[in-house]
Amino acid sequence: MINLSLGANIVLNQGVINIKINSGLPVDASAFRLFANDKVKDDLDMIFYGQPKNQDASIIWQQTHNNNHEFRVDLTKLSAEVQKIAFTITCDQYSPISQLKNLSIQLDCNNEVIALGEVDINNRQEKALIMGEIYRRNTEWKFRFIAQGFNGGLKPLAEHFGVNVIDEPTPPVPTSTVNNTTTSSSVNLNKISLSKDRTSVSLSKRNDYGKIGINLNWNKQEQPTKKGFLSEFFNRSPNIDLDLAAFVRLKDQSIHVIQALGNCFGSFQSPCYVELMGDDRTGANQDGEWIYINGSHWNNIDEVLIYTFIYEGLPNWSQADGVVRIHVPDQPVIETFLTDGNNSNILCAIARLKNDNGAINVERINRYFRSQRELDYAYGWGFRWSAGRK
Amino acid sequence: MAVSLVKGGNVSLTKEAPTMTVAMVGLGWDARVTDGQAFDLDASLFMVSENDKVLSDSHFIFFNNKTSPCGSVEHQGDNLTGEGDGDDEQLKINLTQVPADVKKLVFSVTIYDAEKRKQNFGMVSNSFIRIFNNDTGVEIARFDLSEDASTETAMIFGELYRHGSEWKFKAVGQGFAGGLAAVAANYGVSI
């Protein structure tokens, strides 16, 4: 492995490279596919949480942990016009860069570390950083460790790559977002973070909200690749199984529980119009767990309360590092982090979506409870509970 | 097409640029677009004698001493940011007027205040140093600093030296710790 100093470059002999960005605290990571003059051509050239994969699958983003992003780059799939791919981070919650615990970019190939660039974050005032870039040099691909950026954050960074940023403050109006069918070259880079300071957001009233996706993702513990059959006896599995679940109240005042426990998966097409997709028991599914709300029937729904609970594994919220993202079509992603968890409580009420005269009001809750029953009482839903096992 | 030089490679100017009377050394780089202190690269020249030391302090041509006592070497001006296309700094050498006791012209490129600003060539976009025949514009040798000297802050680019009656160019491409002061001291300039 090569330790890269700032500005240093290396030749890439491999076709597929995994670029890992680790930050110690949450940051957003994006890759920009650049053409002549180091500019993007259109929206498809940005790979990030809102567009994890581009059309030729040459770059694929995934968040392996709140603080870890990974881009899988297949150099053999890149078109001949592509000159560079820049890998960037922006700080939102912890800003500027000097507030992070650490920051590095690592290149892996076939699970082997090729190179590592560690940023000295002391006194760094930037809110957005170009971590490094893969670029053409004569007939080769090379990588350079850059760590230069912009004090103004995402906007100057995006503009540097030729992306027009909509200067719309949140809450947003439905405008062009990253969408394969849009012809506009403007990208709405807004993401709404619900935190202690900002606990709710209202989405403007619409007839049809489409398919509303709620995603829970958490720290995927690395599974040892080889394991003796006795190891299960000696080592308690470090894996945490988080279940995503919801209480749903329809306009007719009927109440429903959506959770894997008890096989209450619900239904997207018929009442209660909320469905839990599968159940990720292992955490191996990088995509986490999903609940979909049928936004075409929002007028039949009164409230959806989203919660998660630790089904298996140690109740350690900081280790689980959960993040919930609410995707409403044509709207910025709304996200909230499961922080401040008390480890004696296994359940976290995350957020509720309330029907506010046809609009959706999303309210962050982030309260921890010992059981579904306790949560039920706290918010006055009125279920009857018995112990269960999936 | 310029000769892409490896360290220590020699170019005979009588072969590569037989008619050259005026040589030009060009240094170029892109202005910084990210936030932080500007990149200020400096080209300098040392007129040295047989013993590899400058004839006098005034034979060290740099941003504060732009012309040699004999007038054969002229620094065309100090660019502080890299703003502009092509060469950002140039040194013009009239080979026919270089005094006979000057055996070598040594070219260096350094980053101003590199240590304090925590900069190296690799952080500067498209930085290069080249030598070309000013009469024809034909390039003789070139170093891409961003690529091939990326972790350096100061470098000896190359030397023009006398070989019998002709001038030859030798690419050195050797990094140097300690910036311009260290390079100058190495060639006997009192700092």
Minimal Cα–Cα distance from A375 to chain B, Å? 49
**Cβ contact, residue pair A151, B35, below 8 Å:** yes
**For residues A157-171, average pLDDT:** 69
pLDDT above 50 (res A179): no
CB-based contact, A133 to chain B, within 8 Å? no
pLDDT above 80 (res A279): no
Confidence category of residue A168, pLDDT binned at 50, 70, 90:
very low
CB-based contact, A130 to chain B, within 8 Å? yes
Q: Which of A85-99, A277-291, B172-186 has the lowest mean pLDDT?
A: A277-291
pLDDT given for residue A105 in this prediction? 97
Confidence category of residue A323, pLDDT binned at 50, 70, 90:
confident
Which neighbouring-strand residues pair with A267?
A274
Give pLDDT tens digits for B58-91.
999 998 889 999 999 999 988 888 888 889 999 9
Minimal Cα–Cα distance from A211 to chain B, Å? 40
Q: Coil, helix or strand for A319? A: helix
- The domains of chain A are located at 2-182, 200-379
Minimal Cα–Cα distance from B120 to chain A, Å? 7
Q: Pairing between strand A211-217 and A323-327?
A: antiparallel
The pair of three-digit structure tokens given for residue A323, joined into one six-digit string: 């993040």
Which one is predicted more confidently, A226 or B52? Answer: B52
Q: Which of A65-79, A281-295, B29-43 has the lowest mean pLDDT?
A: A281-295
Confidence category of residue A172, pLDDT binned at 50, 70, 90:
very low
Architecture of domain B3-186: Sandwich (2.60)
**Cβ contact, residue pair B34, A149, below 8 Å:** yes
For the domain spanning A200-379, the CATH number is: 2.60.60.30
Closest chain B CA to residue A38: B125
**Cβ contact, residue pair B150, A126, below 8 Å:** no
pLDDT given for residue B140 in this prediction? 87
Minimal Cα–Cα distance from A152 to chain B, Å? 9
CB-based contact, A17 to chain B, within 8 Å? no
Q: Coil, helix or strand for A171? A: coil
Task: Give chain B positions within 8 Å (CB) of A130.
Answer: 34
**Cβ contact, residue pair B35, A149, below 8 Å:** yes
pLDDT given for residue A289 in this prediction? 87
Q: What angle do CA A42, A47, A49 make, to 5 degrees?
A: 125
Task: Give chain B positions within 8 Å (CB) of A6.
Answer: 118, 120, 122-123
pLDDT given for residue A246 in this prediction? 94
Query: What single-letter DSSP state applies at residue A153?
Result: T
The pair of three-digit structure tokens given for residue B97, joined into one six-digit string: 């007027």
**Cβ contact, residue pair B150, A9, below 8 Å:** yes
pTM > 0.80: no
Minimal Cα–Cα distance from A190 to chain B, Å? 22
Q: Which of the four CATH numbers 2.60.40.1760, 3.40.50.300, 3.40.50.10490, 2.60.60.30 does domain A2-182 have?
A: 2.60.60.30
pLDDT above 60 (res A356): yes
Minimal Cα–Cα distance from A7 to chain B, Å? 4
Nearest-by-Cβ selection for A137 from B36, B122, B147: B147
Q: What angle do CA A72, A74, A80 make, to 5 degrees?
A: 135
ipTM for this model: 0.85
**Beta-carbon contacts of residue B79 (< 8 Å; ≥ 6 apart):** B40, B88, B89
pLDDT given for residue A367 in this prediction? 84
Q: Quote the CA–CA distance of A122 and A104 in Å, as a whole number.
A: 13
Whether the CB-CB separation of B150 and A7 falls below 8 Å is answered with yes
Distance of CA A101 to the CA centre of its chain: 20
Task: Give chain A positions within 8 Å (CB) of B147.
Answer: 9, 137, 142
Which of A1-5, A160-164, A364-368, B8-12 ranks highest by mean pLDDT?
A1-5
**For residues A214-238, average pLDDT:** 50
pLDDT given for residue B11 in this prediction? 77
Task: Give chain A positions within 8 Å (CB) of B150.
Answer: 7-9, 144
CB-based contact, A357 to chain B, within 8 Å? no
Confidence category of residue A291, pLDDT binned at 50, 70, 90:
very high
**Cβ contact, residue pair B150, A137, below 8 Å:** no
Whether the CB-CB separation of A344 and A306 falls below 8 Å is answered with no
Residue keyed to tokens 């960005």? A21
Residue keyed to tokens 């570390």? A113
Task: Give chain B positions within 8 Å (CB) of A144.
Answer: 122, 150
- The domains of chain B are located at 3-186
Q: Pairing between strand A68-74 and A128-137?
A: unpaired
pLDDT given for residue A203 in this prediction? 67
Confidence category of residue B39, pLDDT binned at 50, 70, 90:
very high
**Cβ contact, residue pair A5, B120, below 8 Å:** yes
pLDDT given for residue A235 in this prediction? 34
Whether the CB-CB separation of A128 and A84 falls below 8 Å is answered with no
Task: Give chain B positions within 8 Å (CB) of A7.
Answer: 119-124, 146, 150-151
Q: How many contacts does A have with B, using Cβ atoms within 8 A?
A: 44
pLDDT given for residue B90 in this prediction? 95
pLDDT above 50 (res A124): yes
Closest chain A CA to residue B149: A8
pLDDT above 90 (res A43): no
Whether the CB-CB separation of B133 and B149 falls below 8 Å is answered with no
**Cβ contact, residue pair A7, B151, below 8 Å:** yes
A301-312 sheet: strands from edge to edge? A200-203, A359-369, A347-356, A301-312, A241-250, A255-258
pLDDT given for residue A342 in this prediction? 67
